Amino acid sequence: MDAATLLRTAKLIAVPLPFFLGGYSFAFSQNAVPGILDLPANFSTPVFKHVFQAGGLVVAPGGILSAAASGYLAYALPRQRSIWGMAAVISVLPLVWTGLVMSPGINRLIAISGDTRMQEKATANLEHRQLLSVAALRATVGA
């Protein structure tokens, strides 16, 4: 592949992919989570687990691919190095945010989704509702 084709291909990945990933993540936090907030934990937590894990199959590789394409452009285009370098870093920030800030609540919701006793307790004390609300807020802030 010649250099011009490689540059065009990298730009075709690096420019639209972050918009897609941002919309995909925002739609989850604004559409899926509010729809399951008022449901009992035995229903809402398994749905959350599925949506989170299925979304991760799209968002994680997409973020890495976007960062790689932007990183290549930062390397290949010295005059635009700072903008493409910043784009590369920003592309992986949602993954870092999820891992560092959101993972305790996410892991708790996933744990609740697999245990009937925990689901009953979470429904009684509304723990799942609070965790889902925080997950939606943090996903919106991190998106």
**Digit-coded pLDDT (tens) for 16-70:** 999 999 998 888 878 888 888 888 889 889 999 998 999 999 999 999 999 999 9
Give the N- to C-terminal CA distance of the chain in Å, as an integer.
34
Range of 65-74, 94-103, 117-126 with top mean pLDDT: 65-74
Domain that holds residue 68: 3-142
Structure tokens at 79: 């005059």
Percent of the chain with pLDDT over 70: 97
Report pLDDT for 90. 95
Structure tokens at 93: 């920030």
> Domain total for the chain?
1
Taking the mean position of all CA atoms in its chain, how far away is CA 123? 26
Report pLDDT for 141. 64
CA distance 113 to 92: 28
CA distance 49 to 119: 13
Between 32 and 100, the more confident residue is 100
Q: What's the pTM? A: 0.84
Instruction: Count other Cβ atoms within 10 Å, centred on residue 143.
Output: 18
CA distance 113 to 127: 12
Percent of the chain with pLDDT over 90: 55
| CB burial readout 45-72, b (16+ within 10 A) else e | bbbbbeebeebeeebeebbeebbbbbbb
